[in-house]
Amino acid sequence: MKRVREIEIALRDSILVSLSIEYEYYSELLKQGNSVNMKFIRFDEEIIEFQLLNVLEADFCDDYSGVCVSHIKALSQNDRITLSLDPYDERVDAIEQKDNFVFTVKQYYINVSQV
Residue 113 has pLDDT above 90, yes or no: yes
CA distances to 28, 52, 56, 109 from 33, in Å = 14, 11, 11, 14
pLDDT score, position 62: 60
Global pTM reads 0.87
Cβ-based neighbours of 49, under 8 Å, separated by 6 or more: 37, 38, 39, 109, 110, 111, 112, 113
Element (H, E) at 55: strand 46-59
Per-residue pLDDT tens digits for 41-97: 999 999 999 999 999 999 987 665 668 899 999 999 999 999 999 999 999 999 999
Residue 105 has pLDDT above 70, yes or no: yes
